[in-house]
Structure 1
Amino acid sequence: MTISPVHIRTLADDLYAWLPEERGWGLANCGLLVSDRTALWIDAPYDRALAGRWLAESQARMPDGVAVDRVVVTHANGDHLWGAVVLPEAEVVTTRHAIDNAHFEPTPEQLQQLVQGLDGDTPTGWYLKQNFGRYDWTATPVVEPAMLVQGELEFRVGAYPVHLIGLEPAHTTGDLIVHLPAQDTVFSGDVVFASTPEQPGDHAVHWAGPLSGVLAGCERVLATGAGTIVPGHGPVLDRAGVRAHMDYLAHVQERAHERHRAGVPAVQAAREIIAEGRYPELGLPERLVVTVGTEYRHLDGSPERSALEVMGELAQVAAELRIPAQRGGGSGVGAGLAI
């Protein structure tokens, strides 16, 4: 499987965004801020091949003699960090808690072995191959961040100010947002999964939570006053688009709490929320298994579970949703699996 063309969009003076045109796991947005002396990446693509494409696009937009010498990582999920391997001389910056979060995830080597080694006739094996088989993490060591942010940090790329703002636990335990005031832009990381009528996105997936923390992160994005918001995944938004995403998050939160009070188990609650069909345009509805499960964990005070265990439950729900899609039920549910 290959990745379809990526759109490189000029957002403002010397600011560019890498925006994958497909939906799906791992296809994250990235940013490039250029000056006459230095350049900054905001996040890095998922694997070495994608990151090499983004590096070539970046070099075509930088003055002679200028290199990307710093990568700000909005959180330590691999689809925002692992591609930094193509910039061995660059300083990687993220939050202190992002390092702790990364220890709960499989390494690139482990994930590659899972994708290649699991039986494709099982729900988990089928799902991982379908959604992650396009990536190649061969010889992809995880880059160790050189600078860890706690709270807020400001620096400059040439004449341009860059403001990093750490968040309370939301998508992960170590999220930050990147505010570029001169460009009136914020890179939100995965506290925002964007969708518009013209370019539908995917359902959000949140590993740390609670959803109140994700909503607080969205409010912090808006509090910068920026008019352009680049989400972790999906199309570029204006402020109204962020508010619309917050309405979606509040809906999921409300439904999860209702079902928790009724004693409905988390996975079944996710099934019921999916079955409502409230957001049929969104792909990957099975990801509600993760987000609802995370919310239940906070409501119950229960410990965090392994990512592989959670993905097994998600894959089972995805397999259930696949059957009506194959019979011609062309809803957003089926479309979410066809990547």
Structure 2
Amino acid sequence: MTTARANISAIAEDLYVWLPPKRGWGLANCGLLASPRSAAWIDTPYDPSLAGEFLAESRKRLGPGVPIDRVIVTHANGDHLWGAGVLPDAEVITTREALEHIHYEPTPQQQHALIAGGDPQSPLGWYLSRHFGGFDWSATEPVHPTLMFHGELELRVGDHPVHVIGLPAAHTDGDLIVHLPRQRAVFAGDVIFGSTPQFPGDHPVHWAGPLQNVIDACTRVLATGAEIIVPGHGPVLDRAGVHDHIAHLAHVQERAHALHAAGVPALEAARTVIAERRHPELGLPERLVITIGSEYRHLDGTALPGVLEVMSQVAVVARELENGTVPGPRGAADADRQGQPA
């Protein structure tokens, strides 16, 4: 992928974070935990080009011959997993439940073919090309986790303890967080999307839910006592930033429940919340289609549709936003708007 170079910086003792240079789909944060004898990655970049860049920067911060022999994957979205192929000898660690989401997404080469062969005149083809066309998975083989666990896992990287905590379904089935007690840090994966006034991020997107599980996962992050929280995307946060994120999630939850109770269909509910523009600084508002759709499925007891069906709806709303034609609220006049800004 051709892009400005990512930034890698030290955030605690022997701990580094690799931050992509801009926001957007697929540009995930990654971590390196170093020691004199071994090292671990926490998540990987999306494609071999970005993963190779992260690998080169990681090796600059390790002693001669020190291997990166573990990759801890916070969840099974490809933008956190697929780059592990540049470390073919590393142990890839994730939860057992994450396997379900691996099977839900296309393989890397299927996704590459879908984007390369898409119709640019269709909303889905236009959207996938715009947001994913810069990545190259043409030769990327699927990544198969080699150590799967349920619950919690205690590891060490050199003298550094690593506490890996599996979560109930939240952003995806099989989320985990990585607590580094010595560094007072947590890598939260996509249960948290970072945003600050100085560095606004993107709208959170959640495939599994319900949102209460995502909020509970954020609370679990805070319960570790960590002072440094690395979200899956966006800037590194402090504890106050996580509290702000919880408040945002709770607002989306409240609006989804109110609109559902008023009989507003899920897609129309997403359009309604987008039109309210509570957080205009956040990018990719069309992702509310996924998050609110997930919340509706829990309220209705229905199953997750195919990923292309979901992304087609996202693309339609994104094109409406592009053209300035997102419909205003329809059928939502009686929905509770408590807490909405004037």
Using the size of structure 2 for normalisation, the TM-score is: 0.94
Q: CA deviation at 1:3?
A: 2.1
Is the aligned partner of 1:284 residue 2:281?
no
Is the aligned partner of 1:47 residue 2:47?
yes
Q: CA deviation at 1:101?
A: 1.5
- CA offsets, 1:275-322, max 9 Å, x none? 001000000000000000000000000111001000000100000000
- The letter of the residue matching 1:314 is V
State the partner residue of 1:328.
none
State the partner residue of 1:172.
172
- The letter of the residue matching 2:84 is A
Is the aligned partner of 1:66 residue 2:66?
yes
Q: CA deviation at 1:181?
A: 0.5
- The letter of the residue matching 1:16 is Y
Separation in 2, partners of 1:97, 1:24: 26
State the partner residue of 1:17.
17
State the partner residue of 1:197.
197
Separation in 1, partners of 2:315, 2:130: 11
Q: CA deviation at 1:99?
A: 0.9
Separation in 2, partners of 1:280, 1:260: 23
Q: CA deviation at 1:7?
A: 1.0
Q: What SS class does the counterpart of residue 125 from structure 1 fall into?
A: helix
State the partner residue of 2:242.
242
1:37-186 to 2 correspondence within 5 Å? Answer: 37-186=37-186
Q: What SS class does the counterpart of residue 75 from structure 1 fall into?
A: coil
Separation in 1, partners of 2:315, 2:268: 14
Q: CA RMSD in A?
A: 0.9
- CA offsets, 1:177-211, max 9 Å, x none? 00001111000000000100000000000000000
Farther off after superposition, 227-236 or 107-116: 107-116
Identity percentage of aligned residues = 63
- The letter of the residue matching 2:219 is E
Residue correspondences, number = 325
Separation in 2, partners of 1:146, 1:290: 30
Is the aligned partner of 1:212 residue 2:186?
no
Using the size of structure 1 for normalisation, the TM-score is: 0.95
Q: CA deviation at 1:53?
A: 0.2
Separation in 1, partners of 2:5, 2:265: 41
Q: What SS class does the counterpart of residue 16 from structure 2 fall into?
A: strand
Q: Which runs of 5+ in 1 are unaligned?
A: 326-339
State the partner residue of 2:263.
263
1:323-334 to 2 correspondence within 5 Å? Answer: 323-324=323-324
Q: Which runs of 5+ in 2 are unaligned?
A: 326-342
Q: CA deviation at 1:4?
A: 2.0
Separation in 2, partners of 1:142, 1:54: 19
Q: CA deviation at 1:324?
A: 2.8
Q: What SS class does the counterpart of residue 271 from structure 1 fall into?
A: helix
Dislocated runs of 4+, deviation >3 Å: none
Separation in 1, partners of 2:320, 2:248: 24
- The letter of the residue matching 1:179 is H
Q: What SS class does the counterpart of residue 188 from structure 1 fall into?
A: strand
- The letter of the residue matching 1:33 is L
Q: CA deviation at 1:2?
A: 2.2
Farther off after superposition, 185-194 or 7-16: 7-16
Separation in 1, partners of 2:68, 2:109: 26
Q: CA deviation at 1:118?
A: 1.1
Separation in 1, partners of 2:226, 2:240: 12
